[in-house]
């Protein structure tokens, strides 16, 4: 097979594109704006585009570039990388975009790379397809990824069963879709595609007008960057964009995740330091990563434990400052959306502890989601709080970048995306999916570890329980597996009961597990966890926080008939609900500016 590929010299703007009988073409009748070809192999399609062009999609796709380059959430994929990337755009989040990059002049080595990629992938291309490839700037291979443990496990749970599948096509567009170039790939992949002019009124990822300028300025050197903003303004999305833009330059990026309510890489209730080596191409639950260091705060509402949170953040920062390898990487810090009262105290404390070179503050059109003032160096230096004092001879020097949020609906000004409680549940389920096995994906099939009482100490975060109730509290619940080196251990009078900690410590957390059962006769408990056995041998403390397992984890835990352990029938008690976050504490309690 001989490929003779050339880039077209003519490019079309969106205003020159129209839909004629469901086929997307340029108004002057020349080559179609976008083409989709079904390849002989099952579940393989070619997407051919001219520059500039953007295609939006919902679902899961495996993407590989054959010609040109595209950008997805800040990650640039080119023909020379020849790597497959799995991209996740589930229900409850904005549609991700496949955006063509500015085409470079065609040259012979590029054509050779295209030919090698086609041969390596074993693609069978007809003369018609090869002819069309000559007139296109970008050629993308679309494949359906293999069923992952995460997707397989979610399919067994009612609320998340169809999170990644889009079997229903919009009725009002049914006739158009049947004749559109995306109809076959939508039907086979159970996903949805839209072009720019058909996605105007849909929730879609939109890059801010100043995102690239700010990221290019930040990435001029290996710097420390803190991303701040209120709830739902798009901090996590911008963090992913910044990480994806930084990876080609630095290969590794250190992410400090200081948002226990909506963490990016771990189960909720934690602060962590994570080395990122691969692009982030989906919501948080699609790229959970084993941290370099993690501390279990035990609470998603930090207003309930601000001092514990501040101490945990300080522990993570001190650890990272002690590691020469981490000091050579750029640091990107994700913060909470807690922007009132104690939230301002904690955010200014984080900036003081880190001493960054850049602070990115995302502003909302709704003042409720903004900090009281811009987080400039004079403001942060003069703000008086009770968690981190700033020495007078060590002033802060950083560049403050402000940008408007792209995560708000123009009509209602309401934050987009999956609700916070449901997103936390998805993260927990993603972590548990590491233990399930095909084809049934049943959590109860996991073989538990038997741990004697004498090998671990127990801790219930943020409250004190009698010795006799602690085992009942942890039984059937999610616990943090920690390594404790202190001496504040209380030994009960009853030798059959395990020891407990006098107060919640700040110590490394190595993972999570579920206590499957407690055997008082053998004086042991049974634990299931995805943590490797070598790491598990260093665990000596089990901590219980307010992060609970979703109820349907218990109801779908096994195929046994009859009563299900740990489940009760009837309406839930209202006191079992987690209290809502309190955003407006008394003004005289928390920090104020120095006069």
The answer to whether 510 touches 531, Cβ cutoff 8 Å, is yes
Weakest-pLDDT range from 41-50, 457-466, 575-584: 575-584
| Whether residue 10 has pLDDT greater than 90 | no
Could you give the domains of the chain?
14-198 (2.60.120.10), 211-404 (3.40.50.300), 433-557 (2.40.30.330)
DSSP one-letter string for 460-518: ETTS---HHHHHHHHTTSEEEEE------EEPPSSTTSPPEESS----BEEEEEEEEEE
pLDDT tens figures, 352-410: 999 999 999 999 998 999 999 999 999 999 888 888 887 777 789 999 999 999 887 54
Q: What's phi and psi for 415, nearest 5 deg?
A: -60, 140
The answer to whether 481 touches 539, Cβ cutoff 8 Å, is yes
The answer to whether 548 touches 476, Cβ cutoff 8 Å, is no
**Which residues, in sequence order, are CB contacts of 42 under 8 Å at separation 6+?**
none
| Whether residue 223 has pLDDT greater than 60 | yes
> pLDDT-derived band of residue 478, with 50, 70 and 90 as boundaries?
very high
Tokens representing residue 558 in the block: 């096994």
Query: In whole angstroms, what is the distance from residue 12 CA to residue 433 CA?
Result: 45
DSSP one-letter string for 224-265: EEEEEE-TTSSHHHHHHHHHHHHHHHHS-EEEEE--SSS-SS
Average pLDDT taken over every residue of the chain: 83
> pLDDT-derived band of residue 137, with 50, 70 and 90 as boundaries?
confident
Query: In whole angstroms, what is the distance from residue 480 CA to residue 494 CA?
Result: 25
Q: Please name the residue that has the structure tokens 């941290």.
A: 291
Q: Where are the alpha helices (DSSP H) in 322-414?
A: 324-327, 342-354, 377-382
Please indicate whether residue 437 or residue 183 has the higher confidence score (pLDDT).
437
> Could you tell me what percent of the chain has a pLDDT over 90?
53
| Whether residue 418 has pLDDT greater than 90 | no
Most confident of the following: 95-99, 102-106, 318-322: 318-322
Q: What is the model's pLDDT at position 21?
A: 32
């Amino acid at each position: 097979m001989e490929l003779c590929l050339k880039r077209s010299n003519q490019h079309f703007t969106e205003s020159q594109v129209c839909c004629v009988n469901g086929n997307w073409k340029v108004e002057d009748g020349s080559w179609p704006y976008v083409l989709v070809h079904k390849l002989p192999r099952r579940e393989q399609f070619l997407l051919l585009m001219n520059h500039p062009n953007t295609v939006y999609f919902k679902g899961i796709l495996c993407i590989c570039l054959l010609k040109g380059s595209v950008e997805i959430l800040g990650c640039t994929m080119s023909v020379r990388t020849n790597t497959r990337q799995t991209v996740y755009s589930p229900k409850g989040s904005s549609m991700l975009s496949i955006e063509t990059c500015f085409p470079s002049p065609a040259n012979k080595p590029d054509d050779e790379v295209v030919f090698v990629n086609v041969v390596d992938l074993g693609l069978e291309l007809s003369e018609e397809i090869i002819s069309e490839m000559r007139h296109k700037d970008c050629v993308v291979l679309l494949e359906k990824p293999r069923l992952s443990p995460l997707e397989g496990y979610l399919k067994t749970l009612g609320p998340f069963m169809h999170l990644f599948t889009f079997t229903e096509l919009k009725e009002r567009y049914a006739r158009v879709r049947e004749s559109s170039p995306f109809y076959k790939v939508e039907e086979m992949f159970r996903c949805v595609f839209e072009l720019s002019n058909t996605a105007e009124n849909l929730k879609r990822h939109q890059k801010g007008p100043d995102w690239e300028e700010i990221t290019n300025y930040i990435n001029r050197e290996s710097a420390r960057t803190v991303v701040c903003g209120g709830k739902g303004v798009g901090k996590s999305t911008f963090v992913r964009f910044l990480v994806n833009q930084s990876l080609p330059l630095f290969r590794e990026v250190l992410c400090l995740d200081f948002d226990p309510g909506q963490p990016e890489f771990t189960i909720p209730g934690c602060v962590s330091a994570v080395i990122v080596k691969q692009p982030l191409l989906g919501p948080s639950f699609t790229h959970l990563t084993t941290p370099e260091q993690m501390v279990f705060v035990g609470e998603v509402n930090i207003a309930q434990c601000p001092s514990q949170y501040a101490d945990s953040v300080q522990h993570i920062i001190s650890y990272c400052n002690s590691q020469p390898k981490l000091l050579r990487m750029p640091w990107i810090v994700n913060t909470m959306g807690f922007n009132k009262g104690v939230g301002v105290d904690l955010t200014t404390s984080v900036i003081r502890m880190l001493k960054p070179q850049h602070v990115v503050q995302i502003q909302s059109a709704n003042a409720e989601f903004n900090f009281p003032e811009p987080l400039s160096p004079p403001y942060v230096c003069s703000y008086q709080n009770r968690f981190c004092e700033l020495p007078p001879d060590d002033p802060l020097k950083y560049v403050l970048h402000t940008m408007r949020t792209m995560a708000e609906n123009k009509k209602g000004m309401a934050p987009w995306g999956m609700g916070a409680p449901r997103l936390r549940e998805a993260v927990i389920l993603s972590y548990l999916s590491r233990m399930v096995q095909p084809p049934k994906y049943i959590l109860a099939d996991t073989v538990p570890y038997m741990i004697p009482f004498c090998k671990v100490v127990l801790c219930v975060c943020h409250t004190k329980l009698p010795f006799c109730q602690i085992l009942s509290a942890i039984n059937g619940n999610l616990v943090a597996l920690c390594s404790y080196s202190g001496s504040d251990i209380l030994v009960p009078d009853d030798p059959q009961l395990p020891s407990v900690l006098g107060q919640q410590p700040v110590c490394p957390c190595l993972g999570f597990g579920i206590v499957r059962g407690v055997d008082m006769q053998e004086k042991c408990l049974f634990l299931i966890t995805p943590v490797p056995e070598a790491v598990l041998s260093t665990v000596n403390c089990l901590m219980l926080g307010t992060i609970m397992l979703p109820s349907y984890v218990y109801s779908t835990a096994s195929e046994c008939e009859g009563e299900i352990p740990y489940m009760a029938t009837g309406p839930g008690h209202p006191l079992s609900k987690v209290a809502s976050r309190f955003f407006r504490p008394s003004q005289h309690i928390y920090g104020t500016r120095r006069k």
